[in-house]
A = this chain, B = another copy of it.
Amino acid sequence: MIEPKVLKGFRDSLPQQEIVRQKLMAKIQQILRSFGFVPIDTPALEYTEVLLGKGGGETDKQMFRFTDNGGRDVAMRFDLTVPLARYVAANYSLLSFPFKRYHMSKVWRGEKPQKGRYREFWQCDFDMVGVDNAQSDFEILLLIHTCLSQMKVGSFRVCVSHRGLLNTFLVGLGIQDKSQDVLRAIDKLNKIGRDGVCEILKEDGLTEDQTAKVLDFISIDKTSFENTLSILEKMFGQSPEIVRLSQILTMMKACGIEKDFCLDTSITRGLDYYTGIVYETLLLDMPQIGSICSGGRYNNLAGLYTKENLPGVGSCIGLDRLIAALEELKSPIVTDSAYADVMVVSNKDDIAWSESVAMKLRAKGVNADSYVGEKGLGQQFAYAEKNGIPYVVSSQNGDVFSVKEIATRKVTDGLTIDQIAKLVKPEL
């Protein structure tokens, strides 16, 4: 006997979990498609050289990397961003730009497994490649706004900043050579607090005065995007970053969504490759969940693979966090975890009865699970209940049926197929 275990950091997805994940991903896909974004797919396995780029360091150690039977140095992808860069370079002549793509797939990282961290997990990325302007920046923000609104996660704020402003600010302080260290320290603000950031900045070699100025900069009032922008405009004048943010504000106002955005100079996103706007989301009633949707502009993503200049802007939805938020809200998306509308009981005296009744219900648009086991009625009802199927159909006589609602135990007799369809799917 072989023990049927899974690897550390890997998971089986049970039906109730998988239904929730698929419903959420379908909802996100529907929104992305309504914006004209198109899906792509890339291999799970790539040449290590392609995935690593100039890389090394942490990513390298975390990769599932091996030599295949043909002697090639290969690895499983650890994100969907590097494969996107490789993909647009490889398929440049076949794509039309601006290229709006989404990619929802698994990635693998050999990290130390811990609460909420797995070695195999889903990523939902959407990016726009080939253009660097305010409209593309804004469209990603509008998409994030649409996703959060339609998911009904309560009130939220999308917090935006611009890497260029912080860079200019650090140049002014004469510490541009420390910019990577500073932005990584600031990125930790929510985790370690103001004092923690202060300590790291000092360790990084900033003077007391520089540290105080950086802390002042990231604490600029953020109650309204427009107010913060006018404060920053006084500091930076009509710089390209300020012009870009003003244009984005104009579009937010035209779409009537500006109140859900703030300009927050403490947002940096740790990663090196961002070059323009960066953003995170905040659920106002559940700040502990963290950012569900983050991203930014990177203007030299595919530079490793092509001489074409391919600026991009994009974002990534944190599926696990989104599910955590919806669970906290007891959202119907996570509580109603069944696709079947009814279960049809089996009938010992007429082996074809159950399948033919279920077939008639399906023809009316009802999802009908026909019970195929050989247990008594009690266990059949238990099956429906365990699977979250809301109604059970049983025989009465001829063309009329009994329908029991599992939640209330209420039985309605004498229903025709049409009447059952109307009862269990009133929206049809």
List residues of A whose CB falls within 8 A of some B CB.
Answer: 1-8, 10-15, 18-19, 21-22, 29, 33-36, 38-47, 49-50, 53, 61, 64, 66-70, 72, 74, 76, 86-87, 89-91, 94-98, 100-101, 106, 108, 110, 120, 128, 130-131, 133-136, 138-139, 142, 146, 247, 250-251, 253-255, 304-307, 338-340, 343, 346, 351-356, 358-359, 362, 366-374, 383, 386-387, 389
Q: Is the interface of A mostly helix, strand, loop or mixed?
A: mixed
**Within the complex, what minimum Cβ distance (angstroms) separates A347 from chain B?**
10
Given contacts A12-B91, A90-B4, A340-B33, contact A372 B128 (CB under 8 A): yes
Given A68-B64, A373-B131, is A35 in contact with B254 using a C-beta cutoff of 8 Å? no
With both chains docked as a complex, state the minimum distance between the C-beta of A40 and any C-beta of chain B, in angstroms. 5
Contact for A372 among B2, B11, B89, B133, CB less than 8 A: B133
A100 to B387, CA, bound (A): 11
Closest 4 A-B residue pairs measured CB to CB? Answer: A36-B369, A66-B66, A254-B352, A13-B41
Q: Complex: how many Å from CA A41 to CA B86?
A: 28
Q: Is the CB of A44 within 8 A of B108?
A: yes
**Do B304 and A2 touch across chains, with their CB atoms under 8 A apart?**
yes
A76–B130 CA distance with the chains assembled, in angstroms: 35
> Could you list 19 A-B pairs, sorted by A, with CB under 8 Å?
A2-B305, A3-B50, A4-B306, A5-B47, A6-B90, A13-B41, A15-B40, A15-B101, A18-B41, A33-B367, A36-B340, A98-B371, A98-B372, A100-B369, A131-B374, A135-B372, A136-B372, A138-B355, A251-B356
Q: Are the C-beta atoms of B33 and A12 separated by less than 8 Å?
A: no
**Among candidates B40, B66, B98, B370, residue contacting A373 with C-beta atoms closer than 8 Å:** B98
Chain B residues contacting A69 (CB-CB under 8 Å) are 61, 64, 110
A14 to B38, CA, bound (A): 9
With a cutoff of 8 Å between Cβ atoms, the chain B residues found around residue A68 in the complex are: 7, 64, 110
CB <8 Å contact, A305 and B383 = no
Assess whether A368 is in contact with B35, with CB atoms less than 8 Å apart. yes
Smallest CB–CB gap between A143 and chain B, Å?
A: 11
Cβ 8 A contact of A96, one of B39, B368, B383: B383
Supply 20 further A-B pairs (C-beta < 8 A) apart from A2-B49, A15-B38, A36-B339: A2-B50, A7-B46, A8-B70, A12-B90, A14-B94, A18-B40, A33-B339, A33-B367, A34-B367, A35-B358, A38-B339, A44-B106, A44-B108, A45-B120, A66-B66, A70-B110, A100-B369, A131-B373, A135-B354, A251-B355
Please give the count of copies of this chain that the complex contains: 2
Residue of chain B at shortest CB distance from A52? B2
The answer to whether B39 touches A389 (Cβ under 8 A) is no
Give the CA-CA distance A253 to B352 in the complex, in Å: 9
* Residue in B18, B39, B134 whose beta carbon sits within 8 Å of that of A19 in the complex: B39
User: CB-CB < 8 A to A10: which residues of B?
Assistant: 43, 45-46
Complex CA gap A61/B69 in Å reads 9
Provide the bound-state CA to CA distance between A253 and B142, in Å: 54
Contacts of A14 in B (CB 8 A): 40, 91, 94-95
Q: How far is the CA of A283 from the CA of B339 in the complex (A)?
A: 30
The interface residues of chain B lying within 8 Å CB-to-CB of A136 are 372
A101: chain B residues within 8 A (beta carbon): 15
Closest chain B CB from A306 CB (angstroms): 7
Q: Which residues of B contact A369 (CB under 8 A)?
A: 35-36, 100
Known A35-B362, A369-B35; contact A351-B49, beta-carbon cutoff 8 A: no
Partner of A42, one of B13, B67, B305, B373: B13
Residue of B nearest to A369 (CB): B36
Question: Nearest chain B CB to A57's CB is how many angstroms away?
Answer: 15
Give A66 to B2 CA distance when docked, in angstroms.
19
A362–B69 alpha-carbon span in the complex (Å): 49
Give the chain B neighbours of A95 by CB distance below 8 A: 14-15
B residues within 8 A CB of A383? 96
List, in ascending order, chain B residues with CB within 8 A of A139's CB. Answer: 355, 370, 372
How distant is the Cα of A416 from the Cα of B35 in the complex, in angstroms?
20
